[in-house]
């Protein structure tokens, strides 16, 4: 008897339809044949499924059984086909009377006892079900909660093979998983760390506020112990919460990577990623035999912090150039080609020289000019050109360290940032943009107009600093953000001058 069960496969962060076909009663030696480009984890499903059937009080097939995962030219990976294979066997052997299971989307890993285990990609599978007109989806706990966020799909949480058998056979009633209320979907969580703990560094705090308000990239340059990493770790505490649409994008990527955040204060927040400088190109960009998201995609709609920037491999840094410009990355492998979103805010930190004390009045720098030049040359000009704000973080004095006066809190900074972001949401209403940093040249021309006097001032700065055309656009974007923080409808002279000063390190330090 032939049975067909609807399932799905992950390709990047998207799901594609897979049909699990089970045919029993064939002539020949009793055994199970699995075809359809399965990987090792899929091939091992035979042992898991047979054990789950036995421990659930169900019968295993006694004849030659063929299982096909269609389409045959798409590579299948993981243990997500355990549940649909088991249900297909039950239908094919007459133990489950349920027609048209190919209209469902069913996925789940089975333990030897028959209980289901969480899988990755639940949200992508729900999106697939909605797009293909299949309104019912059966998933294990965890993945079912993700899938319930997608409107127009009925999601059932399946805890075991026995429960799925009884539910589909009409012997058990299950309540669909209820999605979270929209009013509770964007909570404002309390952070354990706060900018009030940062002493001094007023110029750096100002640059960070501008960067977060407009979604701009930022690099901090200063000696060891000046607070660069401490400041970077507190940036998530002042970032505006994601909209529901942005959160679904974040969750979809993390779900496909198997890194879904569930519960706790991190739920429904923007991601903050801080990879170690030993990370490979593939780990940063994404890829693998079957392409998947890397750190830049996992930081989508959030922050990517690269500490000790020159210590990263040159090749790893260079792969950032196109994603920083386009907001997406395309990965081509023999197993397929995928495009992943990666709109992130890059925050980088570095020392001015290998020892870190160049220009420090309290410590002597022992680096030779050649060593300093080699150290700075690890960061290419084109990459630096794509970083909007460059700011020095000088060493703190003993007086500043001993001060009991707290700095401005994250809540106060976030309040100003929220107001600036509201101006940008109004400005970009009807588009997919939410921050000034993502403006296209046409939008820059429309929203970043300056008069002749300011144009001459910007031209003079461009000529003196030998800045590129890309830097010209980025100065205007930063100036627009500074004007938003000041609640000014137009870019004025102070806004433009402040934006220009954040490019002054562009050539002075690196060339």
pLDDT value of position 183: 44
CA distances from 182 to 167, 245, 291, 329, 354 (A): 29, 11, 33, 31, 50
pLDDT at 100 over 80: no
Name the band, by pLDDT with cuts 50, 70 and 90, for residue 232: very high
Quick one: what percent of the chain has pLDDT higher than 70? Answer: 93
pLDDT value of position 244: 80
Can you list the alpha helix ranges (DSSP code H) found in 215-280?
228-233, 244-256
Cis amide linkage into residue 235, ω under 30° from 0 = no
Q: Where is pLDDT greater, at 402 or 89?
A: 89
pLDDT at 190 over 60: no
Give 338's strand partners: 331
pLDDT value of position 86: 95
| Sequence ranges of the domains in the chain | 2-168, 195-508
Cβ(218)–Cβ(388) under 8 Å? yes
* Nearest by Cα to 111 from 39, 167, 55, 163: 55
Helix, strand, or coil (residue 32): strand
Q: Degrees (nearest 5) of the Cα angle 118, 123, 124?
A: 110
- Compute how many other C-beta atoms are within 10 angstroms of the C-beta atom of residue 421: 22
pLDDT value of position 341: 92
Positive or negative torsion for Cα 148, 154, 156, 161: negative
- The rounded Cα 284 to chain-centroid distance in angstroms is 12
Q: Which CATH architecture has domain 2-168?
A: 2-Layer Sandwich (3.30)
pLDDT value of position 510: 47
Q: Where is pLDDT greater, at 8 or 464?
A: 8
Q: Do domains 2-168 and 195-508 have the same CATH topology?
A: no
pLDDT tens track for 346-365:
999 999 999 988 877 778 88
- In angstroms, the first-to-last Cα distance of the chain is 74
pLDDT tens track for 396-430:
877 777 777 778 889 999 999 999 999 999 999 98
Q: Where is pLDDT greater, at 27 or 32?
A: 32
pLDDT value of position 146: 87
pLDDT at 509 over 60: no
Average pLDDT over residues 374-380: 88
Helix, strand, or coil (residue 65): strand
CA distances from 305 to 236, 237, 302, 432 (A): 11, 14, 10, 24
pLDDT at 188 over 60: no
Name the band, by pLDDT with cuts 50, 70 and 90, for residue 337: confident
Sheet holding 218-221, edge to edge: 272-273, 303-306, 345-350, 218-221, 389-392
Rounded CA gap, 118 and 140, in Å?
6
Which residues are within 8 A (CB) of 325 and not within 5 positions of it... i.e. 6 or more apart? 386
Rounded CA gap, 266 and 272, in Å?
10
Helix, strand, or coil (residue 175): coil
Q: Degrees (nearest 5) of the Cα angle 173, 178, 183?
A: 165
Dihedral in degrees, nearest 10, Cα atoms 468, 472, 473, 474:
90
pLDDT value of position 260: 67
pLDDT value of position 418: 94
Quick one: what percent of the chain has pLDDT higher than 90? Answer: 54
Rounded CA gap, 301 and 249, in Å?
8
Q: Six-digit token pair at 119?
A: 């899988």
pLDDT at 481 over 90: yes
pLDDT tens track for 45-72:
989 999 999 999 999 888 889 999 999 8
* Nearest by Cα to 60 from 79, 47, 43, 78: 47
Q: Where is pLDDT greater, at 394 or 110?
A: 110
pLDDT at 266 over 80: no
pLDDT tens track for 142-177:
899 889 988 889 999 999 999 999 999 989 999 999
- The rounded Cα 23 to chain-centroid distance in angstroms is 41
Q: Mean pLDDT for the chain? A: 88
Strands 292-293, 286-287: pairing kind? antiparallel
Give the homologous superfamily in CATH for domain 195-508: P-loop containing nucleotide triphosphate hydrolases (3.40.50.300)
């Amino acid at each position: 008897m032939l049975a067909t069960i609807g399932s799905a496969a992950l390709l990047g962060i998207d799901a594609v339809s897979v049909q699990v076909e089970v045919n029993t009663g064939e002539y020949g030696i009793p055994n199970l044949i699995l075809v359809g480009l399965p990987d090792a984890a899929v091939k091992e499903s035979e042992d898991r499924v047979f054990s789950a059937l036995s421990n659930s009080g169900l019968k295993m097939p006694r004849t030659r059984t063929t299982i096909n995962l269609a389409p045959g030219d798409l590579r299948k990976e993981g243990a997500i086909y355990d549940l649909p294979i088991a249900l297909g066997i039950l239908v094919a052997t007459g133990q489950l009377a349920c027609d048209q299971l190919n209209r469902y989307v069913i996925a789940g890993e089975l333990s030897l006892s028959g209980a289901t285990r969480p899988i990755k990609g639940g949200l992508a599978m729900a999106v697939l079900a909605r797009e293909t007109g299949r309104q019912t989806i059966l998933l294990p706990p965890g993945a079912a909660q993700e899938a319930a966020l997608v409107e127009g799909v009925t999601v059932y949480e399946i805890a075991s093979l026995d429960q799925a058998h009884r539910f589909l056979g009409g012997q058990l009633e299950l309540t669909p998983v209820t999605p979270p209320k929209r009013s509770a979907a964007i909570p404002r969580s309390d952070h354990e760390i706060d900018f009030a703990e940062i002493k001094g560094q007023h110029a750096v705090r100002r640059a960070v506020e501008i960067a977060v308000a407009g979604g701009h990239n930022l690099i901090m340059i200063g000696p060891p112990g000046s607070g660069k990493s401490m400041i970077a770790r507190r940036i998530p505490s002042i970032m505006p919460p994601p909209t529901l649409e942005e959160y679904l994008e974040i969750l979809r990527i993390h779900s496909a990577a198997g890194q879904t955040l569930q519960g706790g204060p991190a739920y429904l927040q923007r991601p903050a990623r801080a990879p170690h400088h030993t990370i490979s190109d593939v780990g940063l960009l994404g890829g693998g035999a079957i392409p998947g998201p890397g750190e830049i995609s996992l930081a989508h709609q959030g922050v990517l912090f690269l500490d000790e920037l020159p210590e990263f491999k040159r090749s790893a840094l260079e792969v950032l150039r196109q994603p920083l410009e386009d907001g997406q990355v395309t990965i081509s492998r023999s197993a397929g080609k995928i495009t992943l979103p990666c709109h992130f805010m890059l925050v980088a930190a570095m020392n001015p020289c290998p020892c870190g004390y160049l220009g420090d009045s309290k410590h002597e720098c022992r680096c030779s000019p050649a060593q300093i030049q080699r150290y700075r040359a690890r960061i290419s000009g084109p990459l630096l050109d794509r970083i909007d704000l460059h700011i020095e973080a000088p060493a703190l004095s003993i007086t500043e360290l001993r001060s009991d006066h707290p700095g401005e809190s994250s809540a106060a900074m976030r309040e100003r940032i929220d107001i600036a972001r509201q101006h940008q949401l109004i400005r970009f209403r009807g588009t997919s943009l939410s921050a000034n940093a993502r403006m296209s040249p046409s939008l820059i021309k429309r929203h970043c107009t300056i008069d002749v006097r300011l144009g001459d001032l910007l031209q003079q700065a461009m000529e003196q600093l030998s800045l590129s055309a890309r830097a010209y656009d980025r100065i205007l974007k930063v100036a627009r953000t500074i004007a938003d923080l000041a609640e000014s409808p137009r870019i004025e002279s102070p806004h433009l001058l402040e934006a220009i000063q954040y490019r002054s390190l562009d050539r002075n330090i690196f060339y």
